[in-house]
Structure 1
Amino acid sequence: MFEQAFKNIDDILHKDAGCTSELDYTEQSSWLLFLKYLDALEQDKALEAELEGKYYLYILDPEYRWGRWAAPKLDNGSIDHNSALTGDDLKRFVNDKLFPYLHGFKQKATGPDTIQYKIGEIFGEIQNRIQSGYNLREVLEIVDSLRFRSQTEKHELSHLYEAKIKNMGNAGRNGGEYYTPRPLIRAMIKVVNPQIGQRIYDGAVGSAGFLCEAFDFMSNQPNLTTSQQATLQKRTFYGKEKKSLAYVIAIMNMILHGIEAPNIIHTNTLAENLSDIQDKDRFDVVLANPPFGGKERKEVQQNFPIKTGETAFLFLQHFIKILKAGGRGAVVIKNTFLSNTDNASVSLRKLLLESCNLHTVLDCPGGTFLGAGVKTVVLFFEKGAPTHKVWYYQLDPGRNMGKTNPLNDADLAEFVELQQSKADSGKSWSVDVAAIDTATYDLSVKNPNGGEEVIHRSPQAIMDEIAALDAESAEVLANIRALL
């Protein structure tokens, strides 16, 4: 039911002049889903209060509650079309009254960790792009049919929402930066093995994939106490995000995974001076895939001891600094970081090796990140003691990666198993840091077991890839024609 509802929403938005890509569909679905979720949350809390003989103070005034403007109902539970706003009336209400009202919550909130603050932040960052009030009315009635009440319903919705985020990776406007393959994230979490009571952080949170997967990993532990569940909800997962759309998607993604008021801050992480980070600001675990290839301005670079315009290198300095002593990190970065000869790269490798135990490097094959041609590695490290030995694993799924054959959990099973003992194999080996040239601190992936075998795709795999690309091109052309 949910899957068909999501498809129907996208079909309507596809016809609307204000929505031109998968990114728009996801953004517009997000604010509508958020308000529907908020309504369900308020109803649940009001019922709980009533059962306890207490009074629940609603967050939203009556005029702005879902049941008044989005889905007024008759006694039989069906939409009251006589009182439901539609067309220009609906569009004017949403743009001129609803959004300004919701944005105002940011000033009224007691702090950034409250749901009120999230409401104000979200509706100050996005706008209603649906130009037709009639299209909006159709979408509202589909969203109204969705239910968030049970864990099963939330679980299914979260999977569908993740699928939408994944589809954005193939859309324009840098949609790919919002999506890290979930099998890779799950493998990183298994290696880091976060425990309840530890605080987990992603300073380049994107769609919050790392935090959502970490929540799933930790909340599935058996026999959790009420206190432990409260800790997971309120004092475990923290993130920062610079871009407005990613911020909104991160909040919605975490809510659908079961975290009511996510600790996500809308800010430019790199604008913070490293020297201002104090012990109280530090975290036990860092999980991240920071954006690479970006160029930061000189004034941003001044916040870091190692000056560089490369965004990912600044983030790596930030992550090392913000970890507690004994804290654990798993960070995706371009594989050229291991061998670049510029001063910043050499200095950063030296810093990493001297201040942290870089115990594991996972070398990912090309095609791991759909739509991104760069090769990446994952750095696993523990802060507080220098590195003596680095264990490398060269991931080789035995096939070329692409849209029709993406990374899966089975591809990473051997890595996760071998990493525990750091055993040598045809794909894994260890390097003593004492043998590394201290003039360059070169950490290149050099498999002593014969290097990387070139895997040639079968003709059928190539044909499948071409068919998938042709279908995508046809959709893009259809979108362009629809706009002409």
Structure 2
Amino acid sequence: MESKINRITDILRRDDGISGAMHYTEQISWILFLKFLNDLEETKNDDAQLDGEIYNFVLDEKFRWGSWAVLKANGKIDVINSKSGEDLLEFVNKELFPYLKSFKNITENPKSIKYKIGAIFEFLDNRIANGHTLREVLDIIDEMDFHNNSDLYQLSLIYEKLLKDMGSDGGNSGEFYTPRPLIKVITEVVNPKIGDKIYDPAVGSCGFLIEAYNHIRYENIETNKQRELSTEQLRFLSEDTFFGNEKTPLSYVMGVMNMILHGVESPNISKTNTLTRDIRGLEEKDRYDCILANPPFGGKEKEQIQQNFPIKSNATELLFLQHMMNSLKLQGRCGVVIPEGVLFQTNNAFQSVKKDLCERFNVHTILSLPSGVFLPYSGVKTNVIFFDRNGSTSDIFYYEVNPSSKLTKNKPINNSHFEEFLDVWKDRKITDNSWIVNINDIKDFDISAKNPNRNDTIEHKSPIELVENIKLNNAEINDLMDEIEAILIGKDINE
């Protein structure tokens, strides 16, 4: 399957309508999705027939894979009657896409697969400019079979690789991909369970929600061994477990598609800017048991957005943190990636948010990540902060990840970097990389990770302390210059 995808990417790179990993991933995605949907419908139809029932197809016959993408005669591709060139492009652009876009309408149940298809294609268009190129791609994807769980698992792995390649492309593509080892360790600590409502306020390609699904659904994902769940639990897992927001159209499309391709047919993903919601209006019924997120940081929000938050700031990371704090249910658990600056900055807004966090929530663990985790599209040093809504903070367990070599684009973070952390965090074991700090020993809510076991720990000072140090250093320099000047004057007199 992977070799087929590689062939397709090579073919699409030569098409005039495609430029870069973002475009070819987008185009492979919609074609893969329609083939997946065809095989899913065929499987459901076969199951219905075995039960003596009639299955109502989502797609009209004219728009099903076997009617337009790849026609068959005696089990082989019907080359003569299969559309190609301009005929194929005209059908896809003028009939297929308008038909699929029409699925998202007010009369359709938002939880239905039909509505989700409309939501996906609302923001998609065919970019493949050459109908013969599209013909080649359709023929290759037709060879893929998604009728059983092991095939679907392979598809999910391939799709993850496509998203990873798009993220590694750098630039704006970075928003689509958080390193999977990091997502996995955050999910392990938060430990979502069946029955939980799980939320990501900035879902991107839904990596956190998919890892949460795998965590709940599989006893061993490597061997594809699933947990025994009741019909009601499976329905809850598909329809009422996963929630998220995404404001970027392509991220939204990739996220919804990614969830469906992984087996969650009805994810509750909205295309909206999370920060436009006034968090002071949230009720307990609107909150979530688990929040897993790597929200955007480094951005600036306008005054109108800031009005939705008790503590105003133009820093997106502070606004998202407040949103997550207010979105967590009683006894809820949260794991979120934040830039290092949030931990050590002590100006009014940062200190106020952290004061609220430590007093209303139990900040039990902070995982200090090495530089380079988000290369190549960001070199910002980050941390993961874990907090529960079950009381205030008494002490914080810190763990500092120390790779033996520098992380680079070609030597990224991997699962082995987190092995010791996962071994020690629950029992709060002290190692060379871990320590505990009592909340009473923290000044000005500077909760940054300062490893007492290392001599080269960087000490983050407040702006006022930095100014005072500069003044002190300048005074010492002036005194030293006066002494040198006095020596030189004395030397001139003696001469």
**TM-score exceeds 0.5:** yes
Which residue of 247, 254, 257 maps to 1:249? 254
Q: Summarize deviations over 1:327-358 as a string: whole Å, max 9, x none.
A: 00000000111111332211111111111100
Q: Secondary structure of 2:159's match?
A: helix
CA-CA distance at 1:165 after TM superposition = 1.0
Q: Secondary structure of 2:295's match?
A: coil
Q: Is the 8 A contact 2:35 2:141 kept in 1?
A: yes
Q: 1:429 to 1:299 in 2, by over 3 A?
A: same
CA-CA distance at 1:451 after TM superposition = 4.4
CA-CA distance at 1:172 after TM superposition = 4.5
Q: Is the 8 A contact 1:239 1:265 kept in 2?
A: yes
Following superposition of structure 1 onto structure 2, how do residues 212-251 of structure 1 map, counting pairs within 5 Å?
212-221=210-219, 222-251=227-256
Which residue of 185, 189, 192 maps to 2:190? 192
Following superposition of structure 1 onto structure 2, how do residues 398-437 of structure 1 map, counting pairs within 5 Å?
398-437=404-443
Distance in 2, matches of 1:229 and 1:59, equals: 21
168-177 or 2-11, which deviates more: 168-177
- The corresponding residue for 2:124 is 126
Is 1:310 matched with 2:309?
A: no
Query: Displaced runs of 4+ in structure 1, greater than 4 A?
Result: 451-454
Q: 1:453 to 1:297 in 2, by over 3 A?
A: closer
CA-CA distance at 1:84 after TM superposition = 1.5
CA-CA distance at 1:130 after TM superposition = 0.6
Question: Is there any run of 5+ residues in structure 1 with no aligned partner, and where?
Answer: 455-484
Q: Is the 8 A contact 1:169 1:370 kept in 2?
A: no
- The corresponding residue for 1:450 is 454
Which residue of 392, 397, 406 maps to 2:398? 392
* AA aligned opposite 1:435: D
- The corresponding residue for 1:329 is 334
Q: Is the 8 A contact 2:197 2:240 kept in 1?
A: yes
CA-CA distance at 1:432 after TM superposition = 0.9
* AA aligned opposite 2:157: H
Q: 1:23 to 1:93 in 2, by over 3 A?
A: same
Which residue of 108, 111, 116 maps to 2:109? 111
392-401 or 53-62, which deviates more: 53-62
Q: Is the 8 A contact 2:358 2:393 kept in 1?
A: yes
- The corresponding residue for 1:479 is none
- The corresponding residue for 2:488 is none
CA-CA distance at 1:417 after TM superposition = 1.2
Which residue of 258, 266, 272 maps to 1:261? 266
* AA aligned opposite 2:132: Y
Q: Is the 8 A contact 2:398 2:434 kept in 1?
A: yes
Q: Is the 8 A contact 1:30 1:248 kept in 2?
A: no
- The corresponding residue for 1:462 is none
Distance in 1, matches of 2:328 and 2:18, equals: 41
Q: Secondary structure of 2:371's match?
A: coil
Q: Secondary structure of 1:426's match?
A: coil
Distance in 2, matches of 1:334 and 1:236, equals: 28
CA-CA distance at 1:228 after TM superposition = 2.9
Q: Is the 8 A contact 2:337 2:384 kept in 1?
A: yes
Q: Is the 8 A contact 1:71 1:84 kept in 2?
A: yes
Give 1 or 2 for the bigger CA radius of gyration: 2
Distance in 2, matches of 1:40 and 1:175, equals: 30
106-115 or 299-308, which deviates more: 106-115
203-212 or 170-179, which deviates more: 170-179
TM (norm. structure 2) is: 0.88
Q: Summarize deviations over 1:93-148 as a string: whole Å, max 9, x none.
A: 11111111111110155332221111111111111111111111111111111111
Q: 1:216 to 1:317 in 2, by over 3 A?
A: same
Distance in 1, matches of 2:101 and 2:297, equals: 32
Q: Is the 8 A contact 1:109 1:117 kept in 2?
A: no
Q: Is the 8 A contact 1:283 1:327 kept in 2?
A: yes
Q: Is the 8 A contact 1:358 1:381 kept in 2?
A: yes
Distance in 2, matches of 1:361 and 1:399, equals: 22
Distance in 2, matches of 1:189 and 1:444, equals: 22
Distance in 2, matches of 1:13 and 1:46, equals: 33
Q: Secondary structure of 1:374's match?
A: coil
CA-CA distance at 1:453 after TM superposition = 7.9
* AA aligned opposite 2:233: Q
Distance in 2, matches of 1:60 and 1:257, equals: 21
* AA aligned opposite 1:164: L
124-133 or 104-113, which deviates more: 104-113
* AA aligned opposite 2:430: D
CA-CA distance at 1:260 after TM superposition = 2.1
Following superposition of structure 1 onto structure 2, how do residues 17-416 of structure 1 map, counting pairs within 5 Å?
17-74=16-73, 76-107=74-105, 110-221=108-219, 222-371=227-376, 372-416=378-422
TM (norm. structure 1) is: 0.90
Q: Is the 8 A contact 1:109 1:116 kept in 2?
A: no
Q: Secondary structure of 1:191's match?
A: helix
CA-CA distance at 1:223 after TM superposition = 3.6
Distance in 2, matches of 1:138 and 1:67, equals: 16
Distance in 1, matches of 2:373 and 2:138, equals: 37
Q: Summarize deviations over 1:184-239 as a string: whole Å, max 9, x none.
A: 11111111111111111111111111111111111113443343333322222222
- The corresponding residue for 2:476 is none
Over the aligned positions, Cα root-mean-square deviation in angstroms equals: 1.6
Q: Secondary structure of 2:446's match?
A: coil
Question: Is there any run of 5+ residues in structure 2 with no aligned partner, and where?
Answer: 220-226, 459-495
Q: Is the 8 A contact 1:324 1:383 kept in 2?
A: yes
CA-CA distance at 1:323 after TM superposition = 0.7
Distance in 2, matches of 1:303 and 1:108, equals: 28
393-402 or 110-119, which deviates more: 110-119
Distance in 2, matches of 1:191 and 1:329, equals: 9
* AA aligned opposite 1:22: A
Distance in 2, matches of 1:301 and 1:144, equals: 49
330-339 or 148-157, which deviates more: 148-157
Distance in 2, matches of 1:255 and 1:119, equals: 10
Distance in 2, matches of 1:128 and 1:23, equals: 13
Q: Is the 8 A contact 1:185 1:213 kept in 2?
A: yes
214-223 or 135-144, which deviates more: 214-223
Distance in 2, matches of 1:38 and 1:381, equals: 39
Q: Secondary structure of 1:125's match?
A: coil
275-284 or 391-400, which deviates more: 275-284
Distance in 1, matches of 2:236 and 2:414, equals: 31
Distance in 2, matches of 1:109 and 1:402, equals: 50
